[in-house]
Structures are given as structure tokens and as C-alpha cells.
Amino acid sequence: MSEQRTSDSPFQARIANVVEALADADADAMILTPSTDFAYLTGAEPALRERLLALGITATGTVRAIAPGFETDAMVPVTEAGIELITWSDGEDAAKLLLDGLGLGAKPRIAVGAGTPMRFPLEFMRHRDISWTAGDDILVPLRMRKSPEELALLKAAALADDETYRRFLTSTEFRGRTEFEVQQDLRAHLEATGHDLAGSFSIVAAGANAAMPHHHSGDTVLEDGMGVLTDFGGPRDGYCSDMTRTWSLGPASARLKEIHAIVLEANRAGLAAVRPGVTASSIDAIVRGVIESAGFGEYFIHRTGHGIGLDVHEPPYLVAGDETVLEEGMAFSIEPGIYIEGELGVRIEDIVAVTATGGESLNEADRSLLEL
């Protein structure tokens, strides 16, 4: 595929890249229903409902969207992006309207979005002898490499997460309160720093609960001597943040200090290894190697990281088997952890962008083992 195109509209440029990729993939068209892929190509974020609302793009450059007539308000960004909108009413065959509007023949090969409910492809198949292919094969390579504008939004989201952490540490009463109560304060700080609370997440895991990477904050009371794992983030102006820090309530135990130092070393080793031309799996191997060398390999029980953008988890994945070659503009988490059941857990997570010469951490918040 040739180098990504640019134009005055990021959406028109992205659609042009899809058109080119469809031709390269020997596909006749792509159809997407509401999803982050839909938002990436149109700027619109309509809800996914039972009636067909979709975007269609052909390899010859025809672009049409379709929506029920009473949902056109959600499609204003689509028309503003210069995309023709087909509206339909109950009783009309929306699937046929879109296929005809795209000018597709009797036996098209169509790439379908990963989040498309099965009922919609079945409706299309009543009108054409369709062979389907995965839309991810086309969209993932395009979405993995962020534009400067996207990176700026990711950086702003990361710095807002940093500020969330600062406010959380300096204005929250921890002692004698439950994880859930503390988590609600953390959520309030996320909202105050511009995050969309509906799509945001937060974990407060105290003591032995931190040994569960995705612990659901509950009624455990925070007490002195506990290590506390906090993982939080979410969408801000469309692009996501995600950061984890582990700290101590009161003086940290020698054991917590030991584990935290190992995880911090692994986090730093991962960042130092990032550069164009290396694979995602190689970063995982380097990070994992630090923890294995310290004798805790069996306690690092998840991948090193995940891509981030419009979705908080998206390709590439820093894990064995993902041979994606890193390129400038890619962004992902580096989040080593050690989880010892019944005792403690430590994770340190930053969002990292690939630069022309290496890696840049978009997060700047203190990674040290703070004793509060």
C-alpha cells in the first residue's frame, strides 16, 4: 500500500485510504455499522440499533451512508464530511437501498466491520450472492498509525490522566474508606479533567485484591500498610487515556518495595526498547525478561500492552505472536505487572508513542512507590 494520503478533511483522506486498500485486497466494498471504525471514517457516533444505519465504500470510490429518516440528526457529521446520505422509512428495504446506492453487482466481495451484528449481513444476502471478508484486514493497518492530530489528542488525554492522578492523591481521604468509595472519587476526578465518564473506567484494588489485574472495587477498607493499585482512564475528545500506578498507604513493606522496583525496571526497559522496525512481540519479550530474570516470571500473567486510540484496547498488542512491525505514529500501553495471589499486586502502565527514533511516554505522572 502506498503512503497514506492527506487532504483538508481527515475523513475524506481516511476514506481515500480505504478505497485504495479495498482495491489492493481485491474487495468490491466495505460496509460498517456504528462503531469506532464508523467514527474514524466519518466523525459521527450514532448509536447501534435494530434498524440499519451504515456506511458503504466501494473500491471504485463510491461512498454512501444510510440511516432511518428520523435519525438523521446523528448523521450530520457524515453529510458535513461530504458523504451522500440515503434515508429510509419503515417498510422500505434498507439493505437493498444501500447495495443499489453503492452500485454493487450480483456477486460482490464485501469487507464487513468487526462490530456489525449478524442480522445485517443476512439482510444484505437476500439481495446479492455476497462473499464476506474481514474489515479489520483493511482498517487495522490504517488505524494503528496515528496522524499528528491524533497523537496530539492522545497526548492531551494522557496528560489529563496525569492530572487526574495528581488530584486524586492530593484531595482524597483514603483511610477507613472502602475501595468503592475511593473509586467514586477517582471517577469524579476523571470527569473533572475532561474524560467522558460514560466510557471511562477505574480500578482501586487494595492489599491482596491488587493481585487480580481487573479487580472490581468493593467493600475492602483501605488501611495503613496496604499497597494500592489504581488503573484509570477513558475517552477524552474521542481519544483514550489509560494509566496504572501502584502506591502505598503509609510506609511500604519491604516486599512491596522489592516488587515495585522490579516492575518499574521492566516498565523502563520496555520504553527504552521502543523504536521503528522492531516487533510488538519483541517489546513483550524484553519486558517479560526483566521480570523473569528477577524470579517472578510466573506472576506476570498478561500481555505487556495494547494499542490505544479511539478504543482503549486496539491493535497492536505487545504479546508473543504479534509480529506487527512498529512504525512511527503507533501508540500503545506498556504495563508490566506482578501479581501474587493472596499477597499483593503491582502494575505500572504508561501510554507510549513510537517516534522517528524511539519511544515517547505520553504519561508523565510519578511512577515511584509513593507512601501516602
Strand, helix or coil for residue 298:
helix
Cα–Cα distance for residue pair 185/223, rounded to 1 Å: 17
Mean pLDDT, rounded, for 304-314: 98
Average pLDDT score over residue span 341-358: 98
Mean pLDDT, the chain, rounded, equals 96
pLDDT in tens, 84-112: 999 999 999 999 999 999 999 999 999 99
Element (H, E) at 116: none
| CA 261 to centroid of chain Cα atoms | 27
**Predicted local confidence at residue 8, as pLDDT:** 59
Give me the sign of the Cα torsion angle 157, 158, 161, 163. negative
- Is the Cβ–Cβ distance between 306 and 332 less than 8 Å? yes
CA pair distance 260, 368, nearest whole angstrom: 8
Q: What is the pLDDT of residue 227?
A: 98
Whether 245 shows a pLDDT value over 80: the answer reads yes
pLDDT digits (tens, 9 = 90+) for 187-229: 999 999 999 999 999 999 999 999 999 999 999 999 999 999 9
Predicted pLDDT of residue 99? 98
- Cell 481527515 belongs to residue: 10
Element (H, E) at 288: helix 280-293
Give 254-307 pLDDT, tens digit per residue: 999 999 999 999 999 999 999 999 999 999 999 999 999 999 999 999 999 999
Picking from 347, 134, 171, the residue whose alpha carbon sits closest to that of residue 247 is 347
Determine the Cα angle at 364 with ends 225 and 190, to 5°.
70
3-state secondary structure of 160: helix
Question: Quick one: what percent of the chain has pLDDT higher than 90?
Answer: 97
Question: Which residue's entry shows cell 483538508?
Answer: 8
What pLDDT shows up at residue 2? 35
8 A C-beta contact, residue 317 and residue 305: yes
Helix, strand or coil for residue 72?
Answer: helix
Beta strands (DSSP E) in 52-181 are 54-58, 63-68, 84-88, 109-112, 131-134
Q: What pLDDT shows up at residue 9?
A: 79
Amino acid at the residue 178: T
User: What are the pLDDT digits (tens) for 37-83?
Assistant: 999 999 999 999 999 999 999 999 999 999 999 999 999 999 999 99
The CA distance from 197 to 205, in Å, is: 20
